Structure 1
Amino acid sequence: MQIAAVSKDQTRNTMIIFGSLFTKRALTEYSIDVGKEIIYAHKGLARIEAVTSSPRALEGGRTTFTLLNETHHWIESNQGHEMAATIERNATKSADGSARTFAITNAFEPGEDSVAEQTRDAYEAAEAGRAEDTGILYDSLEAPPEAKLTRPWLEKVLTAVRGDSVWLNIPRIIKSILDVRNPPSRSRRFWFNQVAAAEDAWMARYEWDACKREDLSLEDGDEIVMFFDGSKSDDATGLAACRMSDGLVSALGVWQKPPNWPSPETPGYVPWSVPREDVDGVVANAFTRFKVLAFFADPGSGQDEDGEMYWDAFLDRWGQAYGKKLLLRAVTSGPKAHAVRWDMRDRRNQETFTEAVKRTREDILQRQLVHDGHKVMRTHVINARRRTNAWGITIGKEHRESARKIDLAICMIGARMLRRNVLNSPKNQKRSTVRGKGRVVVLR
């Protein structure tokens, strides 16, 4: 057995506990010698040892169990990444695959790319169906997303989150949280076990999760608006809807390269691209199921084999097939007039979308937005980073080549924008007036 950490101090925190864990009978029966960095048993045939950042020394170890201690501190600069990889290989090579690894950690600091963050991302990717389920079991006592850092919440939340760490003094922790010298993000991370947002994150996990309503879903016949963000291969392609009646946002579809797609070096490699016919089918199904009042589609910048814009033919087809049913048109006049084509590279559209980003964030923070908990949309929202442009704060990926997609976040914001546009449009107000005619009967 190995107790692994990136410093001896971290391993010591665990090793010193063994003296109180073993009974006198166990110490005698198994000849256990505690109180050392290496604890021997069975006359040296078995041992528990503390190991630190030396991946080369760990290579090939035939452990049956490895404890990874405080993995939020395991980062690339202290060899934490390589150490975790070595431990994983050792466990994989064990007889009959019987070895197990167990990691304990505090809430990680987003953006540090710690082993704890990588593990959480891998678990959530499998949960969302974006990656193979490799058998990661993840358990975390975290405060509910709606929990506030105010005195009425603190005692109950802290009692639940500390679990069996009964030595933690709740009144003392409350004082620390209410101390204005401690930023809320730190209190949420260390005492609420919530993963706070990265410094440039657009939205924190708990802020988005607080708006989840699993009891709500789109129903056939609902009046909705839809926003489409197109790509060919590198980014994801997404389609999101927003219900007019209550503003519920939901993902209708997302297409991105499968995690197990062959690399370019693979013999017979074929590049992956978004299956446009599948997307077309989802769009057609949406117009069959729902009453779509507006549908804007950003074509992206990808090209097909003929050098044509990858999505233009489909956008034209959608405009011709559904344009007459829409209450709003994407471009109303001029040579670029189109029922659905709304190019986000246009400066006027960039300004409009930047305002939509601002309004959507306000709606989330004020709990004026509801969503159905779609896991990929959640991931894309969490991945979004604040980016400054000529009109204010918009969103973007952490960097151009990042594999962390944000396309469903763009679709969600675009759908909320369309709902506001429809609600404020003269056509909708006229339609509501006509639809609202009738006789009022007052019951006494």
Structure 2
Amino acid sequence: MEMSSEFVVDFPTLGDLGDAWITRHCRVPDGFTRGRPFQMADWQFWCHANRYRIRPDAVFVPPELVGPDKPPVLNQAFFYQQTLVVAPQKTGKGPFSAAQVAFEAAGPSVFAGWAEGGEVYSCADNGCPCGWEDSPEAFVYAKGEPMGMRHPSPLIQITANSAEQADNIYKPLRAMINLGPLKQLLAVREGFIRILGLSDQDDLDRIDVVTSSARSRLGNPISDAEQDEAGLYTKSNKMVDVADTQARGAAGMGGRTHLTTNAWDPSENSYAQMIYEANEPDVFIFYRDPDKELRGDDGRPLDYKKLADRRRIHEYAYEGSWWVNLDSIEALARKLMKRDPEQAERFFGNRLVAGHGKWLEDGAWESKAVPALVIPRRAPVAGGFDGSNNDDHTGIRLELLPTQYQFTPTYGPDERKTLWNPADYGNRIPRSEVMAAWRELAKFYDLVRVYLDPFFWQSEIDELAAEFGETVFIPWATNRPVPMHAALDRLKTDLGNDDSSFSHDGDEVVRTHMRNARIRPTTVDKTTGVKRYVIGKPFGEEHRKIDFAMSSVLAHEAAMDVLASGWKPRTSSRVRVWR
């Protein structure tokens, strides 16, 4: 299909075959185009193509050769083991997911080797009597293109927090079945959908709905799970457990799981948020984030409260969804903003909006993000370090001198970021690894001054100071209200000052910690009346960490103290934009 310049498919995928199969077999479920062939919008096809992206080294094992020594390939043929689509309401996530379910259930969704060129996909060979292979629209494989076949025993679960939520997918799927050729492949039964042509047993080859209150089939090995509105799955409603159980069930059967959601409330630590923030390489994420891509004339992120800015945000978030009337979306958003502005931004603006009491206004941190810079060896830098023992995170941030460009350095042969989550290390911070990182950084960069919060780390800081100098590694306690308030206020002021030289690398994890930070009032200066504060996590939300924000504050404070001291670089520090 014709693609937007935003999307370029230059990798092997079953996406073209799937697109053609869906157009042939699925029907538009409602509206003025009801009953017409279902055709994916460009962004939907992009998600579909990546969902079915094939690894270049995938090797097909023919069904007749499958055995103990030659297991089927199934999910291991795919580049991504999970997908996450974040899009606003009314963009068509439900019908899109319904089409994906139909393809998983009865279409050529399983890798079947590499084409020599000229082969024709045969519906008849895959249990479908529609005659597609004999029609002018028959799908002909190009040389080297991955081929597809039907799953031999699909068991699919449509998942949501409630039955009403599950209808986002289940209802359009039923309509797709009843309106076209899918009725020869899928049959709507009472409470489930039967997948035809593979077995005669109702407990096999089926599509079920799983909710928080209907979990009886949870734990079964499954070939696919479509997890709708995963931004509402939390530990408190037990849907995180449901999603995790499905992921295990899918892995056991060579299957995969797929998430769709509106932008989530960051205060709830939803399953979608967990997947997004984990940023695993085998998870495909589609999220048009207005804060990353859109800027006003002043260079700052757009303000959703302003009509013109809101329109630009809607145009970006809904791009490609031609059926959406933006005037109608504006009317809905305007009404919702009167009673719940944050929800309006999430539902229609596709933004991850922080709650009340936040330290930084939305977009303040993002406004100073710039393209990543390549820092030369022995460049002078200041640094900040906030450490923990076994619960909170530990992080190192550096700031280039004198330009005030702040970044997360990397260390080791695999260039890991200097951001440590104890959950990745058996619930303990790997202290020896942190120390090894510091020693590597000290060799690569010219560390001029580093401020380190000594809580839990006094001995290690003393060790670094003895090794590299007490004027370089300096304890800087963050529990002192007066200097801590001054450091926080300095960074906040520089973020809001267009003339400030401060900029940063836009590190996603640091950005999350900045958004999590909440103001905690401390004292009032009796002379000036200044209300001092520190920052902390949102009350009752221990999962929302702020440690990397603290590292960033300390790094900037160290950098500014160095510049205030009259420091001059020994040699020029050249940097270049990474293209």
Same-fold status (TM-score > 0.5): yes
1:288-323 CA distance string (max 9 Å, x none):
x4483x4433333346xxxxx332232244335xx4
Aligned to 1:410: 550
- The 5 A counterparts of 1:40-439 are 40-42=194-196, 44=202, 46-54=205-213, 57-94=216-253, 97=254, 99-122=255-278, 124=279, 126=280, 133=281, 135-145=282-292, 146-149=301-304, 150-177=306-333, 181=338, 184-203=341-360, 206-220=363-377, 222-230=379-387, 235-252=392-409, 254=418, 256=420, 259-262=423-426, 272-275=430-433, 277-285=435-443, 289-290=445-446, 292=448, 294-302=449-457, 309-319=459-469, 323=471, 340-344=473-477, 347=480, 350-366=481-497, 368=500, 369-390=502-523, 392-397=532-537, 402=542, 405-425=545-565, 427=566
Q: Secondary structure at the match of 1:344?
A: coil
Matched to 2:462, the amino acid is D
AA aligned opposite 2:494: D
**Deviation at residue 152 of structure 1 after TM alignment:** 3.3
Task: Report the alpha carbon displacement of residue 55 of structure 1 after superposing the two structures with TM.
Answer: 6.6
C-alpha contact (below 8 Å) 1:195/1:205 kept by paired residues: no
Deviation at 1:394, TM superposition (A): 1.7
- Cα pair distance change 1:7/1:352, threshold 3 Å: same
Deviations 1:351-394 (A, max 9, x none): 12212212312333456441013344334434434333236222
Tell me whether 1:4 sits opposite 2:159 in the alignment.
Answer: yes
Cα deviations across residues 104-150 of structure 1 (Å, max 9, x unaligned)? 1111111212222222233x3x3xxxxxx5x3222223324323323
Residue 245 and residue 154 in structure 1: after superposition, are their counterparts in 2 closer, same or farther (change >3 A)?
A: same
2:161–2:232 Cα contact (<8 Å) kept: yes
Partner AA of 2:232 in structure 1: H
Name the CA distance, whole Å, in 1 between partners of 2:360 and 2:286.
Answer: 23
Quote the Cα distance in structure 2 between the aligned partners of 1:40 and 1:372: 51
| CA distance in 2: counterparts of 1:92 and 1:277, whole angstroms | 37
The residue type paired with residue 88 of structure 1 is A
Amino acid at match of 1:352: P
RMSD over aligned CA atoms reads 3.6
- Distance (whole Å) between structure 2 residues aligned to residue 235 and residue 75 of structure 1: 20
Q: 1:155 to 1:259 in 2, by over 3 A?
A: same
TM-score, normalization: structure 1? Answer: 0.72
Identify the range of structure 1 (191-200 vs 363-372) with the bigger mean alpha-carbon deviation.
363-372
Q: Report if aligned partners of 1:54, 1:83 keep a CA contact under 8 Å in 2.
A: no
Q: CA deviation at 1:35?
A: 8.1
8 Å contact from structure 1 (residues 228, 240) kept in 2: yes
Give the direction of change, closer, same or farther, for the CA distance of 1:21–1:156 in structure 2 (3 Å limit): farther
Pair 1:301–1:90, CA change in 2 (3 A) = closer
Work out the CA distance in 2 between the residues paired with 1:5 and 1:186: 19
Paired position in structure 1 for 2:49: none
Other-structure match for 1:436 = none
Change (3 A) 1:421 1:397: same
- Aligned length, in residue pairs: 383
Q: SS at 1:137's partner residue?
A: strand
Distance in 2, matches of 1:77 and 1:280, equals 39
TM-score (norm 2): 0.57
Contact 1:297–1:340 (CA under 8 A) maintained in structure 2:
yes
3-state SS of paired residue (1:78):
coil
**Residue 390 of structure 2 contacts residue 427 of structure 2 at CA under 8 Å; is this kept in 1?**
no
- Asked if the contact 2:382/2:398 (under 8 Å) is kept, the reply is yes
Structure 1 pair 151–401 and aligned structure 2 pair: CA distance change class (3 A): closer
Cα distance change, pair 189–59 in 1 and its aligned pair in 2 (3 A): closer
Residue number in structure 2 paired with 1:130 = none
SS at match of 1:157: helix
> What's the CA shift string for 1:226-265, capped at 9, x where partnerless?
334455665554433323443211234626366453479x
Contact 2:419 2:548 in 1 (8 A): no
Task: Give 3-state SS (helix, strand or coil) of 1:104's partner.
Answer: strand
**For residues 279 and 67 of structure 1, do their structure 2 counterparts lie closer, same or farther at Cα, with a shift above 3 Å needed?**
closer
- Distance, in Å, in 1 between the alignment partners of 2:408 and 2:256 is 37
Q: For the structure 1 residues 389 and 78, does the alpha-carbon distance in structure 2 shift closer, same or farther, using more than 3 Å as the test?
A: same
Find the counterpart in structure 1 of residue 171 from structure 2. 16
Distance in 2 separating the partners of 1:375 and 1:388: 27
- Give the counterpart letter for 1:18 in structure 2: L
**One-letter identity of the residue aligned with 1:414:** L
Instruction: Structure 2 unaligned segments of length 5 or more: list them.
Output: 1-155, 293-300, 411-417, 524-530, 570-579
CA distance in 2: counterparts of 1:116 and 1:346, whole angstroms: 33
